[in-house]
Amino acid sequence: MSNIQTGLLMLLLTAIGVIGYNVWLRETTPPPISYTAFLADLDKGDIQKIHLRGGEITGENKKGQSFSAFSPDLTGLMPLLLSKSVEISAEPVEPGLGGFLQSLIPVVLILGGWLIFNKSQSGKGSGSGSGSGFGRGKRSPLLPIGMSRITFADVAGIEEALGELTEIVESLRHPEKFSKLGGHIPKGILLQGPPGTGKTLLAKAIAGEASVPFYSIGGSDFVEMFVGVGASRVRELFTEAKKNAPCIIFIDEIDAIGGKRSGGSASGSNDEREQTLNALLVEMDGFSSDETVILVAATNRPDMLDPALLRPGRFDRQVTIALPDAKGRLKILEVHSKKIVMALGINLSAIAKSIPGFSGAEIANLVNEAALSAAKHGKQAVTLSDFEEAKDKIVMGLARKNAVISEKDRRVTAYHEAGHAIVATLLPETDPVHKITIIPRGRALGLTQQLPLDDRYTYSKEYILNRIKILMGGRVAEELIFGRLTTGASNDILSATEIATRLICEWGMNSTIGPVAHMQDQGGFLGGSSTMKPYSEQTAQRIDREIKKTIEACYGETRQLLTDNNKFLHTLAEALLINETIDAEEMSIVYHCYMSDKKIEDSLKSHPEETKQA
């Protein structure tokens, strides 16, 4: 070592020593923490600067709080300090100065060089801890690591998915147990399902259950303006995570980066996305089995993902989370209603049954809206009517009870809705009518609500055709009674066309077209498929013809049904005009009255003499 170098070093040491001494003077006696606690803080990137004096560490965290600790192993500590860009100062220990100082010299030298190197590289220097700015060279902001306090108990109604994940939680808790048996811990878990089904919640619950650190990042956070930033952010994330293993990396809405690579297009943002995706693929392949880092990703659009992501060894575990069924909805309701004050005797299971198709997020919203409604009415507890109000609000937009509607419109609406309800009641294989109303809400003038008895997973052809007939019931009733058509049936017609199209193109239930799939790209969840069967213009025409034929046939049958039962139609429509809303029970009373009248009438027709004699 030359004299100049030693001189420089002494200068550096003196300078550092002076600064360090000042810091040390200012915080006379910083509270001592354990070396483990210090390491944990350091790992989190919480440490701003430290001062070394022998094994004694004094320093300051990013919040400006000072602390002290004792390190048994300074040499081992150095690389860690460097990787976290902690500002370091050191001071010789008076008595045994020589030996210790000698061992510190190379370290400080490297350190000084590093600091200078870093300074010249970065625009802003170290210490700007928060925010998510971008820019090359600047050390990226703190990665969003944290611990999750959500557990599986907070996630309800998706037992199947939970079952698939317990093993993964176990492997995070006891990685050694798994590797000892030579087991292969899955690296990637893809949670897929419609929005609001609890994917984000579930990812947090996995981390909470396993009590491991949790990095959470949105897919779109990677996509920046400058090419290469996203990719380097991915690499950084994985490097960081490996140091903290076992841990979980969660990438929400991964479709933002994991979408299919185009290959051809030259647009800049695509380029960036593809680079990011490539970096992700490389990192996923680079996991070794002794690093228990599990990547959890969520998406609403698994169909959009690049197939490369789904290859074995990457997201080899795919967990589909479906919308909850009635039982699941009940469980989710139970979880969320614990957070509010409920009136006694509320039948949650009836509520759960009345909200088919609600996602977990919508149920959470329902409970919240119900609580708001109770508060608005100055109640002590949330009652059933609050739930009804909340439900109606969510389902149909705000009630417009006081909107002015002409008497004529009201009549047309009453017959229209009665038409739907009667067809649903008279035909077999249909869901029972739950509620009919002519109170306008949102854009709808009225509504007929049907409730399935159970959650159905498959539907018969008869059920589907009857659905179309029920939809036609509104228009047919208007035509029969008023002899003219209105626009009120536009939604019904749209739905009927959609159902008929799927009946033919997707479910293969049309004898002319046959059991061949002619999928349309619907683009929804699990909707489109990359292997769509192309079909000719001729087939398209045949399909169109069959759709029209199906709907027309349904229309004709519905017309006959309502003509035959036109007394029922009048009775129900008049009842609606008076009551505005008719529930299932009232509906069944009207129905039974009508049926017993009809029986007497029919027997009069078929055996006129008998009755005369009686």
By a kind-dependent CB cut-off of 5 to 8 A, residue 54 interacts, out of Mg ion, ligand ADP, Zn ion, none, with none
152-155 contact pairs (CB < 8 A, 24+)? 152/205, 152/209, 154/201, 154/205, 154/335, 155/198, 155/201, 155/202, 155/205
Which of 200, 337, 430, 558 touches Mg ion by CB under 5 A? 200
Contact call for residues 17 and 36 (beta carbons, < 8 A): no
Task: Note if 417 is an active site residue.
Answer: yes
Give the tokens for residue 350: 């009836």
What does the per-residue mask of binding to ligand ADP show for 27-66, with x meaning CB under 6 A? ----------------------------------------
What does DSSP assign to residue 245? -
246 makes contact with ligand ADP (CB under 6 A): no
Contacting positions for Zn ion (CB under 5 A): 474, 492
Question: For residues 88 and 112, what is the distance between their CA atoms, to the nearest angstrom?
Answer: 9
Which of 20, 360, 419, 440 touches ligand ADP by CB under 6 A? 360
Part of the chain binding Mg ion (CB under 5 A), chosen from 192-200, 444-452, 500-508, 517-525: 192-200
196 makes contact with ligand ADP (CB under 6 A): yes
Nearer to Mg ion, 200 or 337 (CB): 200
Nearer to Mg ion, 340 or 526 (CB): 526
- CA dist 26 → 23, 50, 330 (Å): 5, 14, 60
430 makes contact with Mg ion (CB under 5 A): no
* Exposure b/e, 530-554, CB count within 10 A at least 16 = b: eeeeebeeeeeebbeebbeebbeeb
* CA-wise closest residue to 71 among 36, 46, 105: 36
CA 446 to mean position of chain CA atoms:
31
393 makes contact with ligand ADP (CB under 6 A): no
* Exposure b/e, 391-415, CB count within 10 A at least 16 = b: bbbbbbeeebeeeeeeeebbbbbbb
Which of 68, 200, 354, 425 touches ligand ADP by CB under 6 A? 200
Question: For residues 169 and 205, what is the distance between their CA atoms, to the nearest angstrom?
Answer: 10
By a kind-dependent CB cut-off of 5 to 8 A, residue 394 interacts, out of Zn ion, Mg ion, ligand ADP, none, with none
CA count, 13 A, side-chain hemisphere, 496: 26
Nearer to ligand ADP, 157 or 440 (CB): 157
User: Of 60, 272, 283, 417, which is the active-site residue?
Assistant: 417
By a kind-dependent CB cut-off of 5 to 8 A, residue 158 interacts, out of Mg ion, Zn ion, ligand ADP, none, with ligand ADP
> In this structure, which amino acid lies at residue 234?
V
Part of the chain binding Mg ion (CB under 5 A), chosen from 75-83, 196-204, 324-332, 475-483: 196-204
201 makes contact with ligand ADP (CB under 6 A): yes
Question: For residues 407 and 576, what is the distance between their CA atoms, to the nearest angstrom?
Answer: 13
In the complex, least distance from residue 50 CB atom to ligand ADP, rounded to whole angstroms: 39
CA dihedral 334, 339, 340, 344 (to 10 degrees): 40
In the complex, least distance from residue 445 CB atom to Zn ion, rounded to whole angstroms: 9
In the complex, least distance from residue 165 CB atom to ligand ADP, rounded to whole angstroms: 13
Which of 199, 416, 518, 559 touches ligand ADP by CB under 6 A? 199
In the complex, least distance from residue 200 CB atom to ligand ADP, rounded to whole angstroms: 3
Question: For residues 58 and 33, what is the distance between their CA atoms, to the nearest angstrom?
Answer: 10
Which of 85, 197, 275, 337 touches ligand ADP by CB under 6 A? 197
In the complex, least distance from residue 570 CB atom to Zn ion, rounded to whole angstroms: 18
Contact call for residues 46 and 61 (beta carbons, < 8 A): yes
Nearer to Zn ion, 44 or 400 (CB): 400
In the complex, least distance from residue 322 CB atom to ligand ADP, rounded to whole angstroms: 11
Which of 17, 59, 198, 246 touches ligand ADP by CB under 6 A? 198
Question: Interior CA angle at 218 toward 216 and 223, to 5°?
Answer: 130
What does the per-residue mask of binding to ligand ADP show for 119-158, with x meaning CB under 6 A? ------------------------------------xxxx
> In this structure, which amino acid lies at residue 596?
S
Neighbours of 202 (CB within 10 A): 26
In the complex, least distance from residue 444 CB atom to Zn ion, rounded to whole angstroms: 8
Part of the chain binding ligand ADP (CB under 6 A), chosen from 7-15, 43-51, 356-364, 548-556: 356-364
Nearer to Zn ion, 476 or 575 (CB): 476
| Owner of token pair 């976290």 | 84
364 makes contact with ligand ADP (CB under 6 A): yes
Where does residue 320 rank: exposed (0-12), middle (13-18), buried (19+ CB within 10 A)?
middle
* CA-wise closest residue to 295 among 303, 283, 304: 283
In the complex, least distance from residue 382 CB atom to ligand ADP, rounded to whole angstroms: 17
Nearer to ligand ADP, 189 or 201 (CB): 201
DSSP codes of every residue in 67-130: EEEE-S-HHHHHHHHHHTT-EEEEE--STTHHHHHHHHHHHHHHHHHHHHHHHHH-SS-TT--S
In the complex, least distance from residue 257 CB atom to ligand ADP, rounded to whole angstroms: 17
Query: How many residues sit close enough to ligand ADP to count as binding (CB under 6 A)?
Result: 17
Nearer to Mg ion, 200 or 425 (CB): 200
Give the tokens for residue 524: 């929804």
197 makes contact with Mg ion (CB under 5 A): no
Catalytic center residues: 417
Contacts with Mg ion by CB under 5 A lie at 200
Contacts with ligand ADP by CB under 6 A lie at 155-158, 195-201, 298, 332, 335, 360-361, 364
